[in-house]
Amino acid sequence: MSQSYNRGLIEDFGRWREFEAGMWAWIFHKFTGWVLIGYLFTHIAVLSTGIPAAGAGEAAIAAGNDVYTQTIVSLEGLLLVRLLEVGLLAVAVFHMLNGTRLLLTDLGIGLEAQDKSFYASLILTGAITVASVPTFIAGAF
């Protein structure tokens, strides 16, 4: 018979309503980080079509008939891809703003206002994302 009881992850996810700003910032930062590194791999994979495209010959390249140009153009033609790009921007902007907040924290600046700076990064992320939607969607229709 066990002498003590391990409650395991009782508080980690069960009490998310009680999480404070710093905890949310950490969760979001981690989540956006995973998305960004995932995207980096995809990004390089898609751009790699430039390797076969380079051998396509000058005429094809000038006409935009190479694999790379074709791949990107057809991808960017999809509304879904455009929307995902807006999402990517939001994720990147949050990671950058909150990253700045964390760098300041590392320098010992503004630790008393860490919750406010987290809310500020959230709001700013929202604002920048919304403001960028027209540019990101342009030409998709």
Partner 1 sequence: MSTQIPKQTEESSETEAETQPASKGEERRAEKRRRAAERREQRQEEEAEKAAADESTVELKVFRYDPQVEGKQEPRFDTFHVPFTKGMTVLDALMYARDTYDSSLTFRHSCRQAVCGSDAMFVNGGQKLACKTQISDLDEPVRVEPLPHAEVTKDLVVDMEHFYDQMEAVEPYFQTNEYPDGELEEQRQDRENREKIKMSTRCIWCGACMSSCNIAAGDNEYLGPAAINKAYRFAMDEREGEDIKQKRLEIIEQEHGVWRCQTQFSCTEVCPKDIPLTEHIQELKREAVKNNLKFW
Partner 2 sequence: MAERYSSFQSGGRMWFLQRVTAVFLLVVLAFHFFLLHFVHHADEVSFLASSARMEQLSYYSLMILFLVTATFHGVNGVYNALVNQGLTGTKRTVIKWTLVAASVVLIAQGIRTANAWAGIGLY
Point out which span in 15-23, 52-60, 112-120 binds partner 2 (CB under 8 A): 52-60
- Nearer to partner 1 by Cβ, of 22 and 57: the residue is 22
Q: Are 108 and 88 in contact (CB under 8 A)?
A: no
Residue 53-92 contact track with partner 2, rule CB under 8 A, x = bound: xx-x----xx-x-x-xx--xx--xx----x--x---x--x
Of residues 34, 54, 52, 53, the one with CA closest to residue 42: 34
The one of partner 1, partner 2, none whose footprint includes residue 25, by CB under 5 to 8 A per kind, is partner 1
Q: Are 140 and 76 in contact (CB under 8 A)?
A: yes
Sites of contact with partner 1 (CB under 8 A): 1-7, 9-12, 15, 17-18, 20-23, 25-26, 102, 105-108, 111, 114-115
Q: Are 90 and 58 in contact (CB under 8 A)?
A: no
From the number of C-beta atoms within 10 Å of its C-beta (0-12, 13-18, 19+), residue 141 rates as exposed
Smallest gap, in angstroms, from Cβ of residue 109 to partner 1? 10
List of long-range contacts for 99-108, beta carbons under 8 Å, 24+ apart:
99/29, 101/25, 102/29
Q: Fill in the DSSP letter of residue 1.
A: -
Question: Residues interacting with partner 2, by CB under 8 A?
Answer: 30, 33-34, 36-37, 40-41, 44-45, 47-48, 50-51, 53-54, 56, 61-62, 64, 66, 68-69, 72-73, 76-77, 82, 85, 89, 92, 96, 99-100, 102-103, 106, 132, 135-136, 138-140
